[in-house]
Homo-oligomer: A and B are copies of this chain.
Amino acid sequence: MLGREMRVAVLGTGGVGQTLAAMVASLGHEVMMGTRDVRAALARTEAGWGAKVLSEWHAEHPEVKLGTFAEAAGHGEVVFNATAGLASVEALEAAGAQNLDGKILIDVANPLDFSAGMPPTLFVCNTDSLGEQIQRAFPGTKVVKTLNTVNSGVMVDPSQVAGGDHHIFVSGNDPDAKAEVTGILREWFGWKNVLDLGDITSARGPEMLLALWLRLSMSLQTPQATIKVVT
């Protein structure tokens, strides 16, 4: 699948979705970004954290198509879930199981719950994870959890931090899907160190890392802090 132009879906139009879509499109792939309601999304005049106002962003990236969740998922041979964790399962239901069936879903979302203030807590952890919730809801889809442990700039350009000498993780039930995603991480984004943690239940580890990551961001005053595994 790698080494050729692909059709890629990015679900979510926030900062993470914008960063992923722009980078993947810049590599020559055919990217469609999915959102609930394209007209409403383009009419927004405010942007979320780390994002640009969508209409302005889209004017700068006309090569990225915009569609509904279902249109984007139908378009993509591979699908990124870059929606907010709290909205992910609903967004994927709107995308439709038939549009996700048999495909690789690269889940980069975090189960963050901001309802009790900062720093956020997780709405699922410890005995379950968002990655597992999504895999259970879409058993015909090959969910691979990855990239959720770094900020969006680092996701697509790990060399921004320590020359890229740090780690990213993959978790998923399908070894071939993990190998494919590992290839995407290496070839598209330049990740040198990709660590396979195991099946989708191992997504609990990287998701729960957010509790430490949030404190590191506060202590070190940077959203780019990340970790290198040493043995």
A residues lining the B interface (CB < 8 Å): 116, 121-122, 125-127, 161-162, 165-166, 169, 195-198, 202, 204-206, 208-209, 211-216, 218-220, 222, 224-231
Check if B231 sits within 8 Å of A215, measured CB to CB: no
Enumerate 18 A-B pairs (CB-CB under 8 Å) in ascending A order: A121-B127, A122-B126, A125-B208, A125-B211, A126-B126, A165-B230, A166-B230, A196-B219, A198-B215, A202-B215, A204-B211, A205-B213, A209-B211, A216-B229, A224-B231, A225-B230, A227-B229, A227-B230
Cross-chain contact of A126 among B121, B195, B229, B231 (Cβ < 8 A): B121
Distance in Å from the Cβ of A228 to the closest Cβ of chain B?
4
Cross-chain contact of A228 among B127, B202, B218, B227 (Cβ < 8 A): B227
Q: Which residue of B lies closest to A230 (CB)?
A: B162
New A-B pairs, 20, CB < 8 Å, besides A161-B230, A227-B229, A227-B230: A125-B126, A125-B211, A126-B126, A126-B211, A162-B230, A165-B230, A166-B230, A169-B212, A197-B219, A198-B218, A204-B211, A205-B211, A205-B214, A208-B208, A220-B229, A225-B230, A226-B229, A226-B231, A227-B228, A228-B230
Distance in Å from the Cβ of A202 to the closest Cβ of chain B?
5
Distance, CA A104 to CA B227, complexed state (A): 29
Cross-chain contact of A222 among B202, B228, B231 (Cβ < 8 A): B231
Q: Which residue of B lies closest to A218 (CB)?
A: B198
| A195: chain B residues within 8 A (beta carbon) | 216, 219-220
